Amino acid sequence: MEKKQRKLPDSCGLGPALAVIGGKWKALLLWQIHQAQPCRFGELKRLQPEISEKMLIQHLREMEADGIIHREVFHQVPPRVEYSVTPEGAELDLALAPLAEWGKEHQERTGRAKAGAARAARTAAEGATLG
């Protein structure tokens, strides 16, 4: 197991929380699994083509170890693995909502000049992920 982790200072519980959700794609994955439950590995890959396979499984494994998602293997001929969020993961998703809300407001307040062009391009190209 290659888990060295940044080791965040914990006071008030934020450290542990950020350790769990702090990976580059983890929040996104949690949210997507929560949406399309249960979700197969290949499905997640297709939903977020920018994530490399390595990061995808790495994050999935860590999230499983942290108890926020559940992994179920079906011993079939083309292997089949399904991911779903645990109750704990669902709570985390919920706890993340105010932060997401703040983030949205924040990017509206600031990201006009820089994000404007980039966002427009992305939106036109792929149809925007959420809002």
4: partner contacted, choices its own copies, DNA, none (Cβ within 5-8 A by kind): DNA
Binding residue (CB under 7 A) for DNA from 21, 33, 51, 69: 51
Assess 49 for contact with DNA (CB under 7 A). Answer: no
Which DSSP letter does residue 51 get?
A: S
Please identify, among the stretches 58-66, 86-94, 95-103, 109-117, the one whose residues bind DNA according to the rule CB under 7 A. Answer: 58-66
Q: What does each C-alpha distance from 9 to 5, 15, 18, 27, 107 come to in angstroms?
A: 12, 6, 10, 20, 27
Least distance to DNA, CB of residue 79, Å: 4
Between 21 and 83, CB nearer to its own copies: 21
Between 47 and 57, CB nearer to its own copies: 47
Which two three-digit tokens encode residue 119? 């966002």
Burial of 30 (0-12, 13-18, 19+ CB in 10 A): buried
Residue closest to 64 by CA, chosen among 48, 76, 42, 82: 82
Between 22 and 79, CB nearer to its own copies: 22
Which two three-digit tokens encode residue 111? 């990201």
Assess 84 for contact with DNA (CB under 7 A). Answer: no
Site for its own copies in 32-91 (CB under 8 A): 48, 50, 66-67, 88, 91
Which DSSP letter does residue 75 get?
A: -
Binding residue (CB under 7 A) for DNA from 15, 17, 23, 36: 23
How far is the C-alpha of 7 from the C-alpha of 27, rounded, in Å?
18
